A and B are shown apart, each in its own frame.
Chain A
Amino acid sequence: MPRKLPEYNASSLADIAFMLLIFFLVTTTMDVDSGLERRLPQWVAPEDIEDTPPIKERNIFVVLVDRNNRLMVEGELCRVEDLKDKTKEFLTNPLNLPDLPEKNLEEVPYFGPYEVLTGSAVISLRNDIGTTYGTYIKVQNELIAAINELRESISQDKFGKPFAKLDDERQDAVKEIYPQKISEAEPKKVGGK
């Protein structure tokens, strides 16, 4: 008759496991990286750059940032706080002012004929090489915020849903009305030495 093995005491197994558990709990970082998503334009060799047809002054929204992190919008000094409203004004041109961009009546899916900014309307962002990155991101953030808010508001008006909850086709329709067109020029020295 085989001798019965003595059952061994497993009560400290829990302690060991706990110790390991606590180690992993402490070392785990679950932070997700987040940030402003952008797409860079395709690289074009300098010799291949063709002269683009000039864009009408009224269709460009010029944002300049100088080395002292001051902001100039459409030729006027501006605070970062006001940038969003100015951008929205440019993108909607609610009063059809002659110095804000032209609008064309275009067929947009789901919206029918809709007054859309002309395709050449663009936000032009140019910064100095001495601009600090923090300011640059602040400005980018305001520009994107303006576009996002406009998208959000027509999405709520038309579909009664936030933009993020729309399906892809509807999102594309909204994007057609408010495209994210931010052109970044090569930095050059702006203002002062």
Chain B
Amino acid sequence: MSKFRKDDGKETPAISTSALPDIVFMLLFFFMVTTTMRETDPLVKVKVPEATEISKLEKKSLVSYINVGPPMPMYQAQLGNEPRIQLNDQFAKVSDIGDYVEAERQAREEQERGQIVTSLKVDEYTKMGIVTEIKQELRKAAALHINYSARKATKRN
């Protein structure tokens, strides 16, 4: 007969996991909101060059892209492997750029139209001839703010 009885057979209660789904759902919603699915399939192969003095493109919604590079292997049979321009999800000619810029402008809110940045994703081994033609078209279309897409280079020194 003791004053202090042992806990007779009382088990520790199982931790309630009923809040687990809530936590997971919270994470789920976060990722669902932040995910941006790739809108366009790449038709051209682009490996952008390296650079050190790069700056980030802040507002993704204000960026329109121009991809330039050799066509993907499955298109090379028809198109050869000379660098091509891809706008949205089709191949384009240099002369289409003016219309593309205009369409991109129309797709934005009125007050944002002045801030559109054109990101040039150009393959490293492209010749400058085509790039210069694109730049001239962009100048004609008054899309002057451009960004040469580049990867962060590993420090040399």
Report A's interface with B, CB cutoff 8 A: 10-11, 13-14, 17-18, 20-21, 24-25, 27-30, 32-43, 127-134, 136-138, 140-141, 144-145, 148, 186-187
For the complex, count residues of B whose C-beta is within 8 A of A. 55
Q: Which residues of B contact A28 (CB under 8 A)?
A: 31, 34-35
- What's the Cα separation between A133 and B49 when bound, in Å? 8
**Is A140 a contact partner of B148 (Cβ separation < 8 A)?**
yes
Among B3-11, B54-62, B86-94, the stretch that binds chain A is B54-62
B32 proximal to A (CB < 8 A): yes
Report B's interface with A, CB cutoff 8 A: 17-18, 20-21, 24-25, 27-28, 31-32, 34-38, 48-49, 51-57, 60, 63, 117, 119-120, 122-129, 131-132, 135-136, 138-140, 142-152
**Is B132 a contact partner of A186 (Cβ separation < 8 A)?**
yes
In the complex with contacts A34-B56, A35-B148, A40-B144, A187-B124 CB distance below 8 A: no
- What's the Cα separation between A39 and B55 when bound, in Å? 14
Q: Which residue of B lies closest to A133 (CB)?
A: B126
**Is B51 a contact partner of A25 (Cβ separation < 8 A)?**
no
In the complex with contacts A25-B31, A40-B138, A130-B128, A148-B53 CB distance below 8 A: yes
Q: Which residues of A contact B151 (CB under 8 A)?
A: 34
- What's the Cα separation between A134 and B35 when bound, in Å? 31
Q: Which residues of B contact A136 (CB under 8 A)?
A: 128, 131
**Is B123 a contact partner of A40 (Cβ separation < 8 A)?**
no
In the complex, besides A24-B32, A28-B31, 18 extra interface pairs with C-beta distance below 8 angstroms are A17-B24, A21-B24, A33-B149, A34-B54, A34-B56, A36-B51, A36-B53, A36-B148, A37-B117, A38-B148, A40-B144, A42-B139, A43-B140, A132-B126, A133-B125, A137-B148, A137-B150, A141-B52
Q: Which residue of A lies closest to B122 (CB)?
A: A133
